Each structure stands twice: as structure tokens, then as C-alpha cells.
Amino acid sequence: MKTTLVIDDSVMQRLREEAARRGTTISLLVEAGLRRILAEPTQPNPSPTELSPLPSWNGGRELVDISNRDTLYRAMEEG
């Protein structure tokens, strides 16, 4: 199967040199490398690290009771 890969220029240069040194094609070299990686046993995902707590702050008390529609609309019109 043909496919397109995006490979960093420096990696591609090393790949060309290695293929020439081994007397093989870049395609065969890439395929061999992929087969090798895919044959490795899969490692379980590492346990997630504990996240630091989210920041909190005191924003003061509420200025409008949002459950009171009239008060809320009045505050929006004034603001």
C-alpha cells in the first residue's frame, strides 16, 4: 500500500544514508522499523499524575439574586 508520511528533514537524511549503507530502499527500512515497533508488547499507560488543584478566589458576595427574574433584568438594564 502506498501512503504519505511527514518526516523531519534531519530524520529523512539519516534514513537515506542508512538505506544506502545497508543497500536497501527507504521503504523497506521504514517497514522493517514499523514491524519491529508493532511486534513489541504494548506497555500499559502510566498512571495519571495527580493534577494540581484549580485556583480559587473570593469574588465577593452576589449582587443580584439570579432566581428573581425582575431583579436580574433590572440589574442588566442598569449595568
The domain segmentation of the chain, as residue ranges, is: 9-39
Q: How high is the pLDDT of residue 38?
A: 92
Kindly tell me if the per-residue pLDDT of 79 is higher than 70: no
Contact of 16 with 8, CB cutoff 8 Å:
no
User: Identity (one letter) of the amino acid at 15?
Assistant: L
Q: How high is the pLDDT of residue 10?
A: 95
In what helix (H) or strand (E) does residue 64 lie, and over which residues does it extend?
none
- Cell numbers given for 63: 449582587
Residues 13-68: tens digit of each pLDDT: 999 999 999 999 999 999 999 999 999 888 776 667 778 888 888 888 887 888 99
Look at the block and give the residue holding cell 536497501: 24
- Cell numbers given for 23: 543497500
**Dist CA 9 CA 21 (whole Å):** 18
Q: Which of 50, 45, 14 lies closest to 30 in space, CA to CA? A: 14
